Structure 1
């Protein structure tokens, strides 16, 4: 049996371009790995690929990214082995935290080892890009600047350990719907991620907290006008900066330490909200 962690992510910045001819959007994003993670266990089998989990929100059939990643790996390599995969789900589903992408990345890593395939990280990154825009970063980890549709990655200085508070309301948001709404809105103002990059280079927490930016906020906030209140609530509870995670609906807040993040989380306990305190993670 082989166990692999699948780490959540947040976008410290996310700039979105217009839709391309292939249906994707050009992105520029400073991405950050979190300590919050799922756990996947892999057991080799003769030929069948199966997925089980106790989380009823997660489908276990061929439309799950874990199964898609396993099948892609087999097609690419000609491997005939199978695997019994068990998912322990901690990252909330459809929350903008890259949980499905993280699980797919962990599957590529886990089965590459379990099946003895010996694929390089560059090859895994190529395969990951076929599965989803966030999968390459979930393989890459740490702190990175992502471009293209997420597959072009440059490593950035690791963020100094920061506390992160995650607040998710009792509903989910479809990434595809968020992008469709984004396409219907006027073009956003151009954002320069260099302020965030400079803050990371200098280890300046205040600069990082104040440089948070997400072009998709307007789209998801338009669909769910209650979300700005959650963001204001996080700031009011003591977060140094707050932002919607990915396409939402989770809102995250930054704190200078894990201890302060836990104190902020305690102030936000409320029926209908799920609240986590976690930290940034290094590569």
Structure 2
């Protein structure tokens, strides 16, 4: 039995360019990963199967469109293996939340089957393969602080990065990525690419998420989440992740984070509130 952790992906910054002729938007994003997410377990089998459980399992599509199964079949084709194995996926990350849940699961599947089939492929090979079916999968294969550019497939790892206590808040609304980018295209903002330098929090303060305004136009409750986080004590950075609707705040310590979590839960008991840590060092050991 092989188990892989599929951590939630968070965009600390996300610059987006105008739609290109290839049908993709160029992006420039600083990405970190939480110490919280999904868990994927693989066991040998004579066929390929997927069983999904957990609190967020109801929104996961099955069949040929499932990103986990697509990733396994792609790896099997590329490596000359038979696509066989039982996959058990425990879903904690909400769907349509801007946390890269599907991409994280697909990336975990690539790592797990790389081990199951004893391929010994390095992570950069798995990342390149995954980028063929999902723009965020390459980043999720690495699951450590990084900068991604292009359409997400160009990865530059960031080695000197501390842990940050943070709070993820999702209002229970699923926001599809396509409509957010379509809204963005009505008035694209193609500012200069963000380059981290100096103090991390200070550098991130001058960055932004270009999808915030279009996402808020589609799901106005995102504004409420951002306001709720900003109203807590001592948030050092408040922002939306990805295309929404999850937002986050970074705090100076876990006590401040936990106090903020309690305050938001009291006012908004129907929201999903996740006290987490943005990991500074990858928890993935390449095999």
What is the TM-score of this pair, normalised by structure 1?
A: 0.92
Change (3 A) 1:160 1:208: farther
Q: Determine which of 94, 100, 121 is the counterpart of 2:102.
A: 100
Deviation track 1:92-151 (CA, whole Å, cap 9, x = no partner) reads: 211000111010000000001101222232221111101211100111221111110011
Contact 1:105/1:135 (8 A) holds in 2:
yes
Distance 1:264 1:72 in 2: 43
Structure 1: unaligned runs, 5 residues or longer:
none
Match of 1:73 in 2: 75
Deviation track 1:38-62 (CA, whole Å, cap 9, x = no partner) reads: 110100112x111001222212322
Distance 2:275 2:204 in 1: 16
Contact 2:31/2:145 (8 A) holds in 1:
yes
Contact 2:13/2:204 (8 A) holds in 1:
no
* C-alpha displacement of 1:84: 0.3
Match of 2:48 in 1: 49
Deviation track 1:231-279 (CA, whole Å, cap 9, x = no partner) reads: 0110101222211110000111111222321111111011321111100
What is the TM-score of this pair, normalised by structure 2?
A: 0.91
Structure 2: unaligned runs, 5 residues or longer:
283-287
Instruction: Tell whether 2:237 aligns with 1:241.
Output: yes
Change (3 A) 1:187 1:217: same
Q: Determine which of 142, 145, 148 is the counterpart of 1:146.
A: 148
Q: RMSD over aligned Cα, in angstroms? A: 1.6
Distance 1:130 1:112 in 2: 17
Q: How many residues align?
A: 275
Deviation track 1:26-49 (CA, whole Å, cap 9, x = no partner) reads: 111111111112110100112x11
Runs of 4 or more, structure 1, over 6 Å off, are: none
